[in-house]
Every structure is written in C-alpha cells, then in structure tokens.
Amino acid sequence: MTGQYDVVVIGGGIAGLSAALTTARLGHATAVVTEGVPGGQLLSIEHIDGVPGFPEGVAGYDLCPMTQEQCDDAGVEFLGEACTALSADGEQWKLAMASGDVTARAVIIATGTALAKLDVPGEQEFFGKGVSDCASCDGPLLRYKVAVVVGGGDSAMQEALALADHVSKVILICNSDELKGQIDYKKRVSESEVIEKHFGKTVTKIIGDDGVAAVKVKDINNGDLERMETAAVFVFSGLIPNTAFLDGLVSLDEKGSVVVDSGLRSSLKGLLAVGNVRSDSAYRAAGAMGDGAVAANAVDQYLNNGKWREAN
C-alpha cells in the first residue's frame, strides 16, 4: 500500500471519523488509518448520553457505523491497518505501515486511549474467562449472576448500569470516596437496587479455576481484606493515551496526552490531535465529535494558506 493524501487521520473512533468527515467535505483527499472496524471504544458502549440529536441516548454500535457511512459518502478512504511510526518528510508527513508508506500534508492523531490494567494476579489469566471490558457484550451471558465493576468514573458507571439490566447484583468497587462523573449517571447508580457500592477499596487479586469465581478486595484506609464472590470482573479504573507509536516525536503532557492549542494543533507543523488522546480532553463523545470539526477547520486553513499558528 502506498498513497498520497491531503489529510490522514490516525484512528477510527468518533473523533477521528468526525475529523475525516469534515476534511473530506471541505474538499481535501482524506484517509483514515485504523485496524479493525472503525468506532473505537464507543462500539462497546450500549448507551451514550449527551450527544445532540439523540435525546434518549444512542448506542455506540449505532452511532459509529452511521458516521462511517457518512465518511464513505464524502469520499473518505479507509486503510485497514495500523500506523507503526510517524515521521516528518520535508513539508509532509510519512506514515509507516506494514504494506507500505503513506504520505500526507497534514495528520490528525485520533488514537484515543486504552483501558488501564489493575496489574493484579488473575487479571491476564482470566481475560475472556470472566474478566471483560464490554458489558453490552458479556452482560447477557451473566443473567442472574453477580458481576464486579472496578472504577468510579463515567465508564464504570455506564458499565454498571448496563450490567444491572442482566445480573442479580453489580458490585461497584471504587478506590476514591465518591463517584466522579456526570450527575445523571451518579443519580441512576445511587437509585439502582441492583448496584452495590464500595468506596475506598481496591481489587488485589482475581480468583478462579476455569473462570472467575471471586475477587480479593482491600480496604485502602485500614488494610482489611475480604473475598467477594463474583462471576465476572469489568475493569474501568483509568485511561492511558495511545501515544507510544509517536516515540518522542511531539510534546506530551504528564498523562502522556498530545499537547495542543485551542485549534488542536500540536507543536509540529501539520500535526494535530483530537479526542481522548489530546491534552485537556473532555472525555465525552460529543466533545470528541466537536474536536474533529475544530481540527478539520484548522487543517483546512493550513492547507489553503500554509500558515501554522504556534501551539500555546
């Protein structure tokens, strides 16, 4: 595979799809580089609130394919493999890919984040055997059973609420003293008769034989340990920006996110970042979609007049 484009978007989540859709509609030859089915982490989210036009919420596995169809109609090309390295090539950018290099005048990084691991015994061993990151996928398989969700932010609450429709009990284990995220999610979690909340605690071990049977939980304040029986563990305890492939190319903040200005431009000419991978992200689907439009407009200005405002 070789190709020359005006714009290449690295990442096929909702931020990347939004950016690609807008640059294509602005008349720029655009490609999206992403492995697998476009959509990113939202594909596993059963109910997304706060997206304009969907007053009752929308499933990620509906929203992302609809956006991809719009991209197809706008002429966006999808390159179904990963970018393994990115480097400057004169006034252009070169993307190293398994089937050949691709070049672009501008690149929008939209690689999102990966779920942080607990790094406890049993987590890797039982992944796919009770340890999961997709409630909408595995919830129906746990009917009338007990499930543990680790985390206290929006993602953890969304997964707990999705699981509550299927299981007999959700044990929500949060290492802080309160839930952190959208008020609506907090209210619904608090009012649920199925979700049992445990604050100031952390999972230290996942236990089982052929599959998950229990977790060992530690009280952060007094060190007490207890065993909680469960058929599954869903880990949503943090996010790690997918920026390793950049290998020191661009400035990152203390979290590893790409530092950008108000136009979502990085410190390097022709390189931008959108969505959860960029600094000060809102970590919301609607925010990621807005990022795509903002970055696309910045790219359009750059491609039309060659000017690049320095990052703040």
* Residues 236 and 228: beta-carbon distance below 8 Å: no
Residue 312 confidence (pLDDT): 42
One DSSP character per residue, 160-206 reads: HHHHTTTSSEEEEEESSSS--S-HHHHHHHHH-SSEEEEESEEEEEE
Residue 2 confidence (pLDDT): 65
**Angle 60-74/14-25 helices, nearest 10 degrees?**
20
- How, if at all, do strands 3-10 and 30-33 pair? parallel
CATH code 3.50.50.60 region(s) in the chain: 3-114+239-305, 117-235
pLDDT, tens only, 169-217:
999 999 999 999 889 999 999 999 999 999 999 999 999 999 999 999 9
- pLDDT band at residue 304 using 50, 70 and 90 as cut-offs: very high
The first and second tokens of residue 182, run together, are 């959208």
What's the CA gap between 206 and 197, in Å, rounded?
A: 18
Residue 1 confidence (pLDDT): 56
Share of the chain above pLDDT 70, in %: 98
Whether residue 147 is predicted with pLDDT greater than 70 in this model: the reply is: yes
pLDDT, tens only, 157-169:
999 999 999 999 9
Arithmetic mean of pLDDT, 276-293: 94
Q: Across-strand partners of 3?
A: 102
Residue 40 confidence (pLDDT): 86
Arithmetic mean of pLDDT, 33-55: 87
* Residues 261 and 312: beta-carbon distance below 8 Å: yes
* Residues 162 and 136: beta-carbon distance below 8 Å: yes
- pLDDT band at residue 311 using 50, 70 and 90 as cut-offs: very low
Question: Mean pLDDT over all residues of the chain?
Answer: 93
For domain 117-235, say whether CATH 3.50.50.60 is its number: yes
Residue 52 neighbours by CB under 8 Å, 6+ apart: 286
pLDDT, tens only, 105-122:
999 999 999 999 999 999
Share of the chain above pLDDT 90, in %: 81
Arithmetic mean of pLDDT, 257-267: 96
Whether residue 154 is predicted with pLDDT greater than 70 in this model: the reply is: yes
Residue 181 confidence (pLDDT): 85
Please tell me the number of Cα atoms within 13 Å of 54 on its side-chain side: 13
Q: In this structure, which topology does domain 3-114+239-305 adopt according to CATH?
A: FAD/NAD(P)-binding domain (3.50.50)
What's the CA gap between 286 and 49, in Å, rounded?
A: 9
